Structure 1
Amino acid sequence: MSTPDLDLAHRLSDRADEITNARFRSTDLRISSKPDRTPVTDADLAVEDTVRAELAEHRPDDLVVGEERGGDLTRGRFWILDPIDGTKNFLRGLPVWATLTALVEDGSPVVGVVSAPALHRRWWASAGGGAYRRIGADGPAERINVSEVSELADSYLSTTHLGSWTERELRAEYLRLVDACWESRAFGDFWQHCLVAEGAIDLAAEPLANEWDLAAVQVLVEEAGGSLTDLSGRRRFDGGEALSSNGTVHRKALELLGG
């Protein structure tokens, strides 16, 4: 189901794709470090500045929060941007990165678009409108749904970086969940949550995540029939952590993680 805000989010993603595709694997890519020592490229900054300019023109009354230029979360209506989720992959020439664009109203994401042009994939959702995927620039929109796996012993689990669990002093709890599941991988970042939404895997767990990492994928996973919460089970995208799932195995996974 299309809405004016979802249509705008797609147009913003198209503009972002133009920039990131042009800079991906560029020999003159400029890289610096933020105060938290995470990398930022000139492409990250160009995407966020371009999207902010578009929003200023088309939604001048809306607020904007972005990973690179900041902004305050509010209970009103605001757009939240991650210009390149997976910057480490981007700067190393790996194709697993995406631009994440979400619209939040009264604390809840209502539109989300995840565009991964190097993977030739785009995922999107709007509240009450379902979740969709497109493969290839000219591919059809396909409705997606989470899996029907009902037992942890049959579940496929992903995370981003095992060291993050050590940093949060939750390594033992995460490995307990790994041992309870059928298979585990580290697909990482946005991709794992999109894989949950399309039913390819059943669980994605992150002990460290920012609001711009999660707003777009929360509405995607939920509209696909799943759940995204923090590690204590609260439905939120701004809690600094996340567990997404098909919903059926969510509570069992939280129990092993101590939630």
Structure 2
Amino acid sequence: MNPDWLTVVEGDAPLIVAFPHTGTDIPADIEPRMVSPWLARKDADWWVDRLYDFIGEMGVTTVRTGVSRSVIDVNRDPSGASLYPGMATTGLCPVETFDGEPLYRPGEEPDQAEIDRRRATWFDPYHDALTAQIERLRANGPVVLYDAHSIRSVVPRLFDGELPQFNIGDNGGVTCAPELSQAVEAACAVTGWTHVLNGRFKGGWTTRHYGRPAEGIHAIQMELADRGYMLDPDGEVSEANWPSPYEPARAETMRGHLRAILTACADFARKA
């Protein structure tokens, strides 16, 4: 049985959608050490699991952690190595937000023993579940792992200007067959919205760790600029304007595009 913070829904399609950053839970023994609950949740991939909630109808398997990425980021290299050397990013147990604000009160940052404990408690079980689902579906043929993310359209510390709407990552063509990336790019192109392959976001640890196309495991990351389904902050980001509410009417067009993208992923796996 999975712990209550980990949600796994099994489907029969050759496609898994992972939600590593939609969680907002902060354990009671950790929250008092942090500067504020709002800062601790600020960088969540807001409403992404709701945005994709149609995928149950498609027979897609999902794996989601409810724990905030500020507690432990299950999409970071557990060794602590940076995914983007020389660029601003956050670590396995982040100590600052995307905007560089400290997450912990002075002297309350997690030490190595605490990081190891968090890894054993949350990181390892999440990836054990993901591995189990990949193995289950891989027994019947090739499988696609789609890592679902979103981020504010403008985060000056992380990237210049406004992020494209669809940011596809396959780590420079390493984590999946080129035909999969091409199919996802084509599905994005017909939307009329901006997209890029291997731009600022080339795929996190999940994509890079699991993507083994020669073995029939094709991993791809999708980082959405969240303006497609919610309002970006107007001016400086603050507790008063972030997160903005999920907007069902605004999101409906995006949901249609995502359905087409995921259909392309599943169709690729069935033909591979």
Common fold: TM-score over 0.5: no
TM (norm. structure 1) is 0.29
Higher strand share: 1
User: Which gives a bigger RCO, structure 1 or 2 (Cα 8 Å, sep 6+)?
Assistant: 2
